[in-house]
Chain A
């Protein structure tokens, strides 16, 4: 009787895997193209002070006791100018040292919670503000505040 010869064929059921390979190739290419190595991210806690303006009002007690880092944007040089106690500081190490010393003065006066206030102009790039925050954290200073303008009248 004529029929399919199974001579020498161990597996009588043959599965055609070519379409499967095609589909897996397509999926692989899709995922390879859309794949992106994710940058490791983290966060700085920057919780807002509850009693100072969180309800929209201006702080009643103006804190003069602070370490204030002023930051301005130099349009011509396209860079940020940083000042601490009227002294211009360009170097990161120097700024870190000055912040540390200024904060240590408050710690010596039994005021370890005295914050470092970052008073940056609106045009200052965010990366430069984060750099100052990073220097503070490096020195073990967790109390960092952002100087904000008064909210518009309701």
Chain B
């Protein structure tokens, strides 16, 4: 008796990729919007926390601003600081750098740079108290929590010598408990 041949079932297994593509698009969009690539002015540092600060809002003030970051130098093949690496307070002035727009500015050249930026935005009237035209430019000082006050002091003093009086200091909002 001739054997009956079993019918071959051709299975066509296809993976529907469309929902996956949808989800991945959403994820991509989230990460792209969340990526903070525009703020090159702000160096990556640990700010001191303060509960009473005014939270940053999109600045509506027409005054231009310069962000001055004070941060510890990064460890490299030629430089290392064991105190900072262990989370201690490094007090060596030359281990700390003043960084504006991602570029280190030596403290000796800071006055020239701030003065040039201050002069670009002078107020229209002579200030009666100071007797000169002061600058409308704002300086935001973002110093690492462990930075020596002397460095911040130098930056404030340089602002003062450059005719900048609108100084703000940055701090972080404490994490909610």
Chain A residues at the B interface, C-beta cutoff of 8 Å: 17-18, 20-21, 24-25, 27-28, 31-32, 34-36, 38-51, 53-56, 71, 73, 78, 120-131, 133-134, 137-138, 146, 148-149, 151
Contacts and interface: CB of A to CB of B under 8 A. Distances in A.
| Chain B binding surface, main DSSP class | mixed
Interface residues of B, number: 61
Interface string B166-177: 111111110000
Most buried by A among B21, B156, B167: B167
B109 to A, nearest CB: 15
Contacts of A43: 53-54, 56, 140, 168-171
Interface of B: 17-18, 20-21, 24-25, 27-28, 31-32, 34-36, 47-56, 70, 88-89, 91, 127, 129-132, 134, 140, 143-153, 156-157, 159-161, 163-173
B47 A41 contact: yes
| Chain A binding surface, main DSSP class | mixed
A59 to B, nearest CB: 11
Contacts of A55: 130-132, 163
Contacts of A71: 149
A123 B91 contact: yes
B47 A39 contact: yes
Task: List 8 tightest A-B contacts by C-beta distance, closest first.
Answer: A122-B150, A31-B31, A42-B53, A51-B129, A127-B48, A137-B52, A127-B145, A40-B173
